[in-house]
Amino acid sequence: MFRTILIAIVLCGTLAAAYFLAQPSRADVQGSIAVSEALGSNASIDAAYKRVLAPRPFVFPNDHAPHNDYKTEWWYFTGNLQTRTGRRFGYQLTFFRTALAPNFSPDSSNKNANKNADKNADKNAWKARQIFMAHFTITDVETGKFYSFEKFSRVANGLAGCELDSTAHFRVWLHDWSAFSDSNKPKNSSIFPLRLHAAEQGVELDLLLDSIKPVVLQGDNGFSQKSEDVGNASYYYSLTRLQTQGIVRLVGTDSAQVTGTSWFDREWSTSALSKQQVGWDWFALHFDDGREFMFYQIRRNDGTSDPTSKGVLVAQNGASTTISHREAMLIPEGTWKSPLGAEYPAKWRIRLPTQNMELRLTPLLQNQELNVSVRYWEGAVKIEGTQGKTALSGYGYVEMTGYADTPKRIAEK
C-alpha cells in the first residue's frame, strides 16, 4: 500500500539518523513529523536518487530485495488472527528503508567520487548509506488493548537490512524483528513460506505465512502515480491473501495458537506527496468469499480526494480489476478523538456503484493509533456489506495518516 506508511511511513534521513544515535533500540516519543514532510518531494535532494517516472517490468523474486537507488521503500505485513475459541487479534509488522545518501549520481562525472566514497565506507563497519525503521503492533480485541512499538537502526554490522540469495531465501530485519523465508521452503523462485517474528516488552508474534494467490501489480502494471507532479509515484505490488498460522503472546500470558489471513504490500519511490496533499486513507480488505479489495485515497489540503486515488478488486482466482477514483465513494461516519488530540473517522462506508457493492467498516478496537515518530492510525476492522442481494463479510486493515498533522477531514463526495 502507499504507506505510512504506514503506512507507514519513512522518516527523512537526517531526522531518523539523529534519533537513532540518541535511542538505538526503541522510540518512546510522541509523533512529531508530518507525513507530508516525510514523503513530500524536495528537488535538491530527490535529484540524487532514481525517480519513478514510468511503468517498468517486475522480476520476481528479485523485486522482493531492496532498491537502494530510490530514497524510500517498505515491506508491509498486516493481518487478522483468531484462536480456536474465537479470540481475535490484529497485527502489523512493517520495515521501512530510508537512504541517508545516494548510491549513485545521475551526473556521470561523479562516478569516481562515488566509488571512492564506497571504498571509504567499507573501511568503517559502522558507516552506512541506509537506515531502517520498523513498527510492530498487536490489537487484542478481548481486553481492548493495543500494543505498538518502534525501532530504528542503521544498515551496519548486521543490525538491519534486507537480503535475497540465489535460492530465493529472503530476509528483512531490524535487530531481532524479522521476516524471513522458512528453512523448509521448497526449492523454487518463491520466497514463501515466510516466518514473521517480533518480540518487545513481553509482547510476541511468531507467524508462518504462505501465499495462495499471484502478485497483484497495483496502478498501471505496478506504476502507482500519487500526485500530478512528475516523479511523485511509486512502484507498488501486493500479495493480497497469505494463509497465516502461529502464536501470539501478550504480557504475562501463555502463547495463543492462532490462524488467519495476512496482506503483504511492497513499495519503493523517491517522492510521493505534493504540497497540496496532506495524507491518505488505505483500505486492505479480505472478504470471506475469497476476494480482496484495496483502495487508497489521497487527501488534499482542502479536504477533497485526489484524482490519483485508486484501488483494485481481486477475484478468487487472482484476476484483478482496477477501481478508479471516480468508481469509489468513501464516506467517513462519526469521529473518534485520540487521547493525543487527533481526530479520525470513527467508521467508514465504501460504495462501489460499478460493482453494485456497499461496505461498512467498523474498527475492532477504536484506539489503534501508533504514537510513533509519524503518528497515524492503523488497525483491524470488521467488514459488513452487500453486493446486490448477496451479503458480504470479512475482516481487513485500515490506515489513516495526516490526521495528527491537520484538523481537515475528507469531504463526502
CATH of residue 55's domain is: 2.40.370.10
* pLDDT attached to residue 46: 60
* pLDDT attached to residue 164: 97
Cell numbers at 182, concatenated: 522458512
- Whether residue 256 is contained in a domain is answered as yes
List the chain residues with pLDDT less than 50: 1-40, 105-121, 407-413
* pLDDT attached to residue 278: 83
According to DSSP H, which parts of 201-305 are helical?
none
- Whether residue 412 is contained in a domain is answered as no
* pLDDT attached to residue 279: 84
- Whether residue 1 is contained in a domain is answered as no
CA 378 to chain centre: 10
- Whether residue 7 is contained in a domain is answered as no
- Whether residue 411 is contained in a domain is answered as no
Number of CB atoms found within 10 A of residue 113's CB: 11
**Residue 182 is part of which domain span?**
13-401
Q: What is the pLDDT of residues 294-305, one digit of tens each?
A: 999 998 888 888
* Pairing state between β 376-387 and 390-401: antiparallel
Return d(Cα 95, Cα 9) in angstroms, integer.
9
* pLDDT attached to residue 351: 98
- Whether residue 312 is contained in a domain is answered as yes
What DSSP state is assigned to residue 271?
A: B
Q: What are phi and psi of 359, to 5 degrees?
A: -125, 150
- C-beta of residue 359 within 8 angstroms of C-beta of residue 350: yes
- C-beta of residue 157 within 8 angstroms of C-beta of residue 165: no
184 class by beta-carbon count within 10 Å (0-12 exposed, 13-18 middle, 19+ buried): exposed
CA 395 to chain centre: 17
Q: Which residue carries 510521493 as its cell?
A: 272
Number of CB atoms found within 10 A of residue 226's CB: 28
* pLDDT attached to residue 102: 81
Return d(Cα 10, Cα 150) in angstroms, integer.
12
* pLDDT attached to residue 125: 72
* C-alpha atoms less than 13 angstroms from C-alpha of 5 in its C-beta half-sphere: 37
- Whether residue 113 is contained in a domain is answered as yes
- DSSP letters, 290-301, are S-EEEEEEEEET
* pLDDT attached to residue 107: 41
Return d(Cα 269, Cα 271) in angstroms, integer.
6
Return d(Cα 105, Cα 103) in angstroms, integer.
7
* Pairing state between β 310-314 and 292-300: antiparallel
- Whether residue 407 is contained in a domain is answered as no
* pLDDT attached to residue 42: 54
Q: What is the pLDDT of residues 283-331, one digit of tens each?
A: 999 999 999 999 999 988 888 888 989 999 999 999 999 999 999 999 9
* pLDDT attached to residue 304: 85
Domain count, the chain: 1
